[in-house]
Amino acid sequence: MAKNRRNQDEKDEEILIDVVEAKESTQDFIEKNKNWILIALLALVVIVGGYFFYKYVFMGPKEKQASAAIYKAEVQFARDSFALALENPGGGFEGFLDIIDNYTGTKTANMAKYYAGISYLNLGRYEDAISYLSDFSPSGSVSPIMKFGALGDSYAENNNMDAALSNYQKATNAPSNDFLTPYYLQKLGMLNQKLGNNEAALKAFSRIKEEFAGSQQGGNIDRFIAQLQ
């Protein structure tokens, strides 16, 4: 029993010695490198502080300004006045192009890229449409479909059918939406059929029948499928 107690006491002493040595080693390290540690801590404070300053002090007000500034351009866009929406919506408000340039980094400026892309698509300026839509960063479940679907339309109008198919495919591979997904599935199927890709066309049409039978496209999809069988 006494032997076991001695062994335990020796182990406790070894642990205590290890802790003391580790503490001394840490203290020595801090003492030798305190200037570098201080610099690193100051850098961390600057980075964290800079992030919060940028997000809440700089970007917060800028986002509010951008949201107010885009109002008239959105009104003209809703009226299909795409040229005015892009550059001169009236009332002293900025168009989508100025919103993009003047409020860089805001969510509003990002959304203005989508609006600009759709505006150029409707104006027949397909290269510009592709450029702005490509720069648009989608989020959530709906805007990816909107982006890639519109890019598919732009490439198709610009006679780049391979790129059009690729983007329609991306639109239909995004998280499903009961309205948008069957819409672009039908476009994907029709373009594949036009290009002689009947198997791919049938696959797109069949997905409408299986997953979106209640959609507008699902109401007459049997006619499209019959053409390929």
pTM > 0.85: yes or no: no
Q: What is the C-alpha to C-alpha distance for residues 172 and 163, in angstroms, rounded to an integer? A: 14
Q: Name the strand (E) or helix (H) holding 206.
A: helix 198-211
Mention every residue, 6+ apart, whose C-beta is less than 8 A from residue 110.
Answer: 136, 137
| Higher pLDDT among residues 55 and 177, named by residue | 177
Residue 79 pLDDT > 80: yes
Residue 133 pLDDT > 70: yes
Q: What is the pLDDT of residues 204-225, one digit of tens each?
A: 999 999 999 999 999 999 999 9
Domains of the chain: 1-68 (no CATH), 70-137 (no CATH), 139-229 (1.25.40.10)
Q: What is the C-alpha to C-alpha distance for residues 201 and 212, in angstroms, rounded to an integer? A: 16
Q: What is the reported pLDDT for 223?
A: 94
CA separation (Å) from 226 to 58, 70, 214, 229? 59, 47, 19, 5
Long-range (24+ apart) CB contacts under 8 A made by 57-63 are: 59/105, 59/106, 62/103, 62/105, 62/106, 63/103, 63/106, 63/107, 63/108
Residue 44 banded pLDDT, cuts 50, 70, 90: low
**What share of the chain has pLDDT > 90, as a percent?**
67
Residue 134 pLDDT > 90: yes
Q: What is the reported pLDDT for 61?
A: 81
Q: Do the beta carbons of residue 102 and residue 89 sit within 8 Å?
A: no
Q: What is the pLDDT of residues 14-26, one digit of tens each?
A: 444 444 444 445 4
